[in-house]
Structure 1
Amino acid sequence: MTKAELGRRGLLAAGAAALAAPALAQAAWPNRDLRMIVPFPPGGTTDVVARLVAQAMRDRLGRAVVVENQPGAGSTTAAGRFAREGDDHAMFVSQIASHGIAPALYRNLTYNAETDFRALTLMVTVPNVWVANPGKVPGGDVRAFLRDAKARPGMRNFASAGNGTSTHLTGELINQQTGAGLQHVPYRGAGPGMVAVMGGEVDTFIDNLPTALPQIRAGTVLPLAVTSAVRLPELPDVPALAELGAEFNLVGFSAEAWFGLHTHRSASDAVVQRMGDAARSALSDPAMQAQLAERGTQPRPVPSAEYAALVTAELARWRQVVQQGNILVQ
């Protein structure tokens, strides 16, 4: 064999080794335990969903997925910290607060919801339910309530878990589409808001389904409507707002809380694929879906690109609501 032939073989071998190196490195991922950042305290819906998915992902990745609770500033503190880290063994539990509403409300966020993260998958959606004090809305008739509100602008109200929350902006979206002229009454959390509507301090309250169901079943509040596109199996006799149709400009109405997973923008395509596959596999398991349904959430595993598109669409939607309603949060 000539020196030229040996040289060519050497170059080919070197090229093959160079191509194989990333594959070998990728095959070793994950090479340590993973982290899943939950930007809320333990015990809430976000935390419960995250822990179920983290446990199931461990079985699929062969490494522990450690949940870290990092509450603060409605999820934006943890989101900003995560965006600055750059760890391809970490995931962030993204949701309507951090990746839908906060960018619409705040100009000085320390992260960009679209460019500082890579989408992995949507995990679950959580519908809202609009409830009323029985004495304020006899029979829980949502049509009668909205007609009365439109006839007397500013005289009827809805409460929420606080300024800038998803329940606040859902109520504002209802206001904008129906022209009902409802007054917003913010509370410091869902618990105080529910107490207020039960006691007749406010007419109505918009809450996430899982936390509202016990009071609905106890009869202390009446369900007016759900904000999902269709009726829910938990409340089959309660209309979806979309059913109110053209009279109230609610054809096709849907507004739900959602929770998903993102990783760092620096993560490779292969890592994003493997993380996303593990999460989607976990969420598609029938036993997992049953556990999530018991908690009032609806499993929604989707491809990474589809979740990224949802975030983009939600950002645009809530910016429009904020701008149209001239909503300011201190």
Structure 2
Amino acid sequence: MKRIAAALAFCLLPFALPAIAQDTYPSRSITMIVPFAPGGSTDAIGRIVSEGLRQVLGQTVVVENRAGAGGSIGTAAIADAPPDGYTIGIGTASTLAINPATYKNLTFDVHEDVVPIGGIADVPNIMSVNKSVPAADIAALVELCRANPGMLSYASAGNGSVSHLLGEQFRLATGSDIVHVPYRGAGPALTEVVGGQVEILFDNLPTSLPFVLDGRLRPLAVSGASRVPALPEVPTFAEAGLEDMNWMAFFGLVAPKGTPEPIIRKLGDALGQALALPAIRERLVAQQAIVTASPPEAFKAQIEQNLDLMRRAAAAANIQLE
């Protein structure tokens, strides 16, 4: 009888080990892949969240920047990682909505190859112009563009970026004949608009805000359900009559498909606890982020809603990238 019991226990061992591993998770450091270069909004938010997770989980969370192809290289690395909870990553509007809507040959499927852990925050976008542009609001800018077809240009952080989609949405919605000038990142695009080489900029708010506050950029509109506290005089895109542009960039945590559900739940709970820490929340708010702390189901719904929006925008602008 004892031999039978022992044999049965041995047979069940492979099924028991994952449960034991999940009960002790995490027992070592976790890698968080940030699919963009250091210095941008995604990197800043990733590093803040990694510190919060360290405090909650009691293990180091190492940020690893894997930039390239608008975030696709890093997202592919997340999708290809072992599904054991020790590699997670930041998912954004660019990587989970815009890239699948614009790139034809992605090596991953956001519905099949990564799973949501939870939402972190939404960040408003902003449209601004160089201070020398004689337009105090969007209506005046549209009039200027129509009076000078093909003479004004807008800078983006690159083909297929958030700023590119916004620029094309603006061009199509207003009938403005403006030229797209893509750069390799938000920093160079911002530098060129501040310097006057390009007139118009679409960007995440945190990057542009210091230049708006010191008068080197003139803000025309921001995205969001309400106006940004730092810029109370600046209307939302919806208030300016551009409802389809009133979406915000979003950030969340994702894991490779196949990561055990108990680990996903533990990470999701830890993320919620981390975002509730006053110091972590303060640092995110300083990045102009609106903390969402949404559970996996809500974050998944947000991804799907944005993917549908971006597919329609990309199709209307005929944006297809290799």
User: With structure 1 as the length reference, what TM-score do the two structures score?
Assistant: 0.87
Q: Tell me if 1:95 matches 2:88.
A: no
Aligned to 2:179: 183
Aligned to 1:120: 117
- Within the candidate set 98, 104, 109, 2:106 is matched to 109
Quote the offset at 1:155 in angstroms: 4.3
Quote the offset at 1:74 in angstroms: 2.2
Aligned to 2:126: 129
- Within the candidate set 54, 57, 63, 1:67 is matched to 63
Unaligned runs of 5+ in 2: none
Rounded Cα–Cα distance in structure 1 between residues aligned with 2:35 and 2:269: 23
The question of whether the paired residues in 1 share the 8 Å contact of 2:70 and 2:160 is answered with no
Counterpart code for 1:61: L
Rounded Cα–Cα distance in structure 1 between residues aligned with 2:254 and 2:243: 32
Rounded Cα–Cα distance in structure 1 between residues aligned with 2:243 and 2:93: 22
Rounded Cα–Cα distance in structure 2 between residues aligned with 1:18 and 1:192: 53
Larger radius of gyration: 1
The one-character-per-residue Cα deviations of 1:22-59 (angstroms, maximum 9, x if unpaired) are: 65443122232211111222232222211221121122
Counterparts of residues 141-156 of structure 1 (less than 5 Å)? 141-150=137-146, 153-156=149-152
2:39 is paired with a residue of what secondary structure?
A: coil
Counterpart code for 1:72: G
The question of whether the paired residues in 2 share the 8 Å contact of 1:114 and 1:311 is answered with no
The question of whether the paired residues in 2 share the 8 Å contact of 1:128 and 1:209 is answered with yes
The question of whether the paired residues in 2 share the 8 Å contact of 1:91 and 1:262 is answered with yes
The question of whether the paired residues in 2 share the 8 Å contact of 1:229 and 1:253 is answered with no
The question of whether the paired residues in 2 share the 8 Å contact of 1:229 and 1:252 is answered with no
Quote the offset at 1:153 in angstroms: 4.7
1:169 is paired with a residue of what secondary structure?
A: helix
The one-character-per-residue Cα deviations of 1:244-289 (angstroms, maximum 9, x if unpaired) are: 23xxxx2464222222110111111111110011012111223211
The question of whether the paired residues in 1 share the 8 Å contact of 2:79 and 2:114 is answered with yes
Aligned to 1:282: 274
Change (3 A) 1:270 1:170: same
Counterparts of residues 1-330 of structure 1 (less than 5 Å)? 23-88=19-84, 89-138=86-135, 140-150=136-146, 153-245=149-241, 250-251=242-243, 253-329=245-321
Rounded Cα–Cα distance in structure 1 between residues aligned with 2:303 and 2:150: 33
What RMSD in Å do the two structures reach over aligned CA positions?
A: 2.9
Rounded Cα–Cα distance in structure 1 between residues aligned with 2:285 and 2:233: 18
The one-character-per-residue Cα deviations of 1:71-108 (angstroms, maximum 9, x if unpaired) are: 22222112212212223221111112211111112121
1:207 is paired with a residue of what secondary structure?
A: strand
User: With structure 2 as the length reference, what TM-score do the two structures score?
Assistant: 0.89
Number of residue pairs aligned between Structure 1 and Structure 2: 321
Change (3 A) 1:153 1:108: same
